[in-house]
Amino acid sequence: MVVGFGLMIRSYLSRLNLLLVPRISAVLIVVIVLYMLLSIVGYRMGLEGTLNVTYFPMIIIAWTIERMSVLWEEEGPREGMVQGGGSLLVAILAYLVMTDGRRSGDCGAPAARRGALPVRRRWFAGCP
């Protein structure tokens, strides 16, 4: 949803003929506002996990929007969707590998508390 809305904003910004840095800044601001709105809606729905968003993923999303927009303009919509779908698939697989299929922040497992998991796996799972 965020990427789709960001692509719509990016297509509007391309008509303004902005340079790269102002265009990325505008897309980043839009992504931050979208995450803020999603956090507020999620909090009101009782989903407190939506409040745990850092800036780094926002920058990655902004660059993803920029890259998909360039692909869309240069290679066509089909290639943009194929590349975007591939990126989404890799992100899902990386998330599943890093969390072992558990929910993010689920450190209640006794093995994680005792330190039985290697440090790297605990860190990827968000455990202390």
Of the candidates 69, 5, 9, the residue with the CA atom closest to the CA atom of residue 38 = 5
Which tokens go with 87?
Answer: 């990126």
SS3 49: helix
According to the model, what pLDDT value does residue 107 have?
55
pLDDT, tens digit, for every residue of 20-36? 888 888 888 888 888 88
According to the model, what pLDDT value does residue 112 have?
47
Of the candidates 5, 10, 58, 50, the residue with the CA atom closest to the CA atom of residue 32 = 58
Distance CA 3, CA 73 (A): 16
59's CB contacts (< 8 A; 6+ apart) are 28
Angle at 3 between CA 96 and CA 58, to 5 degrees: 70
Are 28 and 58 within 8 A, CB to CB? yes
pTM of the predicted model as reported, rounded to 2 decimal places: 0.60
Q: pLDDT tens string for the chain (128 positions)?
A: 778 888 888 888 888 888 888 888 888 888 888 888 888 888 888 887 777 766 677 788 888 888 888 888 899 889 888 988 898 899 889 888 887 755 555 555 554 455 554 555 555 555 55
